[in-house]
Structure 1
Amino acid sequence: MLKMLEKNSLRGVSVVIPTINRAAVLVKTVRDMLNQQFDDYEILIVDQSDEINAEVLDLIKQIDQPRIRYFKANFKGLPQARNFGWRHAAKDVVLYIDDDIRTGTDLVRSHFESHIKTGADMVAGGIDEAGDKPSHLPTGSFNWWTATPIANFCATTASWCIHGKGCNFSVRRSALGTVGGLDEVLSIGAALYEESELALRLYKAGKRTWFEPSARLLHLAAPMGGCRVTKDWPRYMFGLAHNRSILIFRHLKPWHRPTALLRLLMLGLSYSRLDQSPRPLLATLRGLTAGRRAAAMSPLNAELDAIECTSC
């Protein structure tokens, strides 16, 4: 009875949009979110850009019932922005989307109703991206032998899973509080696996994740801005190795680690071939060492400062 009451007493959705230096695509994303066919939701934009987005401020002034809260962050980092968002959320479900998505009018409703219907603590939404094709692998699964999250979020069959993808997943705010939010140490490089590491901590804490394909969006994967690391392969491999090592040493059983570490070293070697130098492999080794140290520490969730703007 208590579980049923808890499922049916959720109050609304806080949509958190981390963004950095993507003014043009952000405005289109925000317009899509303002068109949602759902009443009880708010939009929190956590902007780490160099300049304030004047067009978003104009949107805020135009709407009759202020639904958008716009924060100009004094920090950098994707997990930092996600943590700031849920700590300032007023609703019970926190929906994370990227700043470069397009979606129909039912995204927020589909996430909320999936939490109600299934009792899930996390809901992974459906994602369409260029080049994606459904695979035979279970959606949102995790390969423990290689420490590799399996995506397949373009699939159309709902199911229980282990993790969601950063551009479209929602979590109960109470569950985020239970596990301490995202680990801000994972902001290194392209912030790879930051949402996977959160999902694995939820999984270990007995929380459940549901894949809901109807909670769907198109991820544009915009090339500008964001936290991408392109062509600087040593830097990319340091961040990848650091963050994957946290998965390996924090979440894998001892008998899974040898093959996962071998897979990581093979990745470093392949990027050294691409770079035609040993630097990516050496960066992989450095990242592995630093990540192993970080895995032994508690997840970082620091005090973060931002200015809430209405007419900044």
Structure 2
Amino acid sequence: MSNSISLNGVSVVIPTIDRAEVLIDTLKDIINQDFVNYEIIVIDQSDEINFKAIEFLDSSKITCRYFNAHFKGLPQARNFGLKQASKDIILYIDDDIRCEKDLIRNHYQAHLSHEADLVAGGITEKGDIANDKVAGYFNKWTATAVSNFSSTVSGRCSHGKGCNFSIKKRALFKVGGVDELLNIGAALYEESELALRLEKAGYKAWFEPKAHLIHLAAPMGGCRVIKDWPKYMYGLGHNRAILVFRHLSPIYWPTALIRTLLLGISYSRLDKSIKPFISVVKGLNHGRKAARLRPLNTDLSGEEILMKEAQIIRSQSCDTV
């Protein structure tokens, strides 16, 4: 499916919610890249407009767009960003990252050099140690996407992690975008399910450690489910069931489901109640039914806020105080 035709640049899509201050640090690094042909698209799902981010983006010499989304959901934000992007490659990053100036260039070069349709970038998170083990593979027996994106060894992979992966826009459109059915709980496995669909369609994924960033994993905001373990486990069961029943052969179902139920038991111990286990069972049942459906990609809306409009909104807000 891949080819070596020239690509017209990179659209950096940043979904964000309730991380106003952290987002600014992310934007500082993304604006100061040593790559030329790129744009930044911020999809803000917060209840309040981030005026500081708009002012910061407006001061940049590159094309920057800020959208006040009329929806909430990470898969939705990725699909909305896809439809706004004007470049051939879309780089998805989280709103709580730090990176060097060569992040975008290394993603772009990996697409050209390895004729990749999806490039999984290197990621350092708290506690990670650089290693030479395989990165980005999928364990079918447990339905687990193994990351290890702190690896220093490039090569073929089966998936990328949501905070740092790039994909050719035409490939993402071809497979139907990110499945919005996975917008449950913490939106777990949405990037893994996408990668499995890409693989089925014949597209190629590549792990490039040089396309590296640090993921801060901010404790608040985003799509985190903070200590509501029944809600978290319902989403985990629902989304993992979609992976299992949509993409895996029946031979893998027993071990994959047992692994999920064991997770339910572990979280019930943590919660000191049976609720997380009951929730994961319900999630598995509902996810099994959802797996039969086609990936959902809805008609989403969001308002692009320009600097002049932001000043008016801010002025009106001050007048009403």
> Does TM, normalized by the shorter one, top 0.5?
yes
Candidates 216, 220, 227, aligned match of 1:220: 216
In the TM superposition, residue 60 of structure 1 has moved relative to its aligned partner by 2.9
Letter in 2 for 1:186: L
Candidates 155, 160, 174, aligned match of 2:151: 155
Gaps of 5+ in 1: none
In the TM superposition, residue 134 of structure 1 has moved relative to its aligned partner by 4.7
Candidates 35, 39, 46, aligned match of 1:38: 35
Measure, in 2, the Cα distance between the counterparts of 1:109 and 1:24. 26
Q: Which range moved further: 134-143 or 102-111?
A: 134-143
Cα distance change of structure 1 residues 136 and 58 upon mapping to structure 2, 3 Å threshold: closer
Aligned residue for 1:112? Answer: 108
Deviation track 1:15-38 (CA, whole Å, cap 9, x = no partner) reads 000000000010110111000001
In the TM superposition, residue 61 of structure 1 has moved relative to its aligned partner by 2.8
Candidates 46, 62, 65, aligned match of 1:49: 46
Measure, in 2, the Cα distance between the counterparts of 1:95 and 1:253. 31
Aligned residue for 1:79? Answer: 75
Candidates 278, 281, 305, aligned match of 1:309: 305
Aligned residue for 2:257? Answer: 261
Aligned residue for 1:244? Answer: 240
Instruction: Check whether the contact 1:134–1:152 (CA below 8 A) recurs between aligned residues.
Output: no
Instruction: Check whether the contact 1:95–1:169 (CA below 8 A) recurs between aligned residues.
Output: yes
Measure, in 2, the Cα distance between the counterparts of 1:66 and 1:38. 11
Measure, in 2, the Cα distance between the counterparts of 1:192 and 1:160. 23
* TM-score, normalization by structure 2: 0.94
Asked if 1:187 corresponds to 2:213, the answer is no
Measure, in 2, the Cα distance between the counterparts of 1:157 and 1:70. 35
| SS of corresponding position for 1:8 | coil
Deviation track 1:95-149 (CA, whole Å, cap 9, x = no partner) reads 0000000000000000001000010000000001111135675210000000000
Instruction: Check whether the contact 2:131–2:152 (CA below 8 A) recurs between aligned residues.
Output: no
Instruction: Check whether the contact 1:138–1:150 (CA below 8 A) recurs between aligned residues.
Output: no
Aligned residue for 1:143? Answer: 139
| SS of corresponding position for 1:125 | strand
Within 5 Å, which residues of 2 pair with 1:195-234? 195-234=191-230
Measure, in 2, the Cα distance between the counterparts of 1:135 and 1:291. 35
Candidates 9, 15, 18, aligned match of 1:18: 15
Asked if 1:96 corresponds to 2:95, the answer is no
Aligned residue for 2:122? Answer: 126
In the TM superposition, residue 87 of structure 1 has moved relative to its aligned partner by 1.1
Aligned residue for 2:161? Answer: 165
Gaps of 5+ in 2: 311-321
Deviation track 1:141-183 (CA, whole Å, cap 9, x = no partner) reads 0000000000000010101000000000000001001100100
Measure, in 2, the Cα distance between the counterparts of 1:119 and 1:266. 40
| SS of corresponding position for 2:128 | coil
Letter in 2 for 1:292: R
Measure, in 1, the Cα distance between the counterparts of 2:27 and 2:286. 37
Measure, in 1, the Cα distance between the counterparts of 2:131 and 2:253. 26
In the TM superposition, residue 66 of structure 1 has moved relative to its aligned partner by 4.5
Letter in 2 for 1:17: I
Measure, in 2, the Cα distance between the counterparts of 1:134 and 1:278. 38
Aligned residue for 2:314? Answer: none
In the TM superposition, residue 53 of structure 1 has moved relative to its aligned partner by 0.7
Instruction: Check whether the contact 1:265–1:284 (CA below 8 A) recurs between aligned residues.
Output: yes
Measure, in 2, the Cα distance between the counterparts of 1:101 and 1:307. 25
Measure, in 2, the Cα distance between the counterparts of 1:69 and 1:76. 18
Percent of residue pairs identical:
58
| SS of corresponding position for 2:251 | coil
RMSD between superposed Cα atoms in Å = 1.3
Measure, in 2, the Cα distance between the counterparts of 1:178 and 1:200. 14
Measure, in 2, the Cα distance between the counterparts of 1:247 and 1:137. 24
* TM-score, normalization by structure 1: 0.96
Measure, in 1, the Cα distance between the counterparts of 2:207 and 2:58. 36
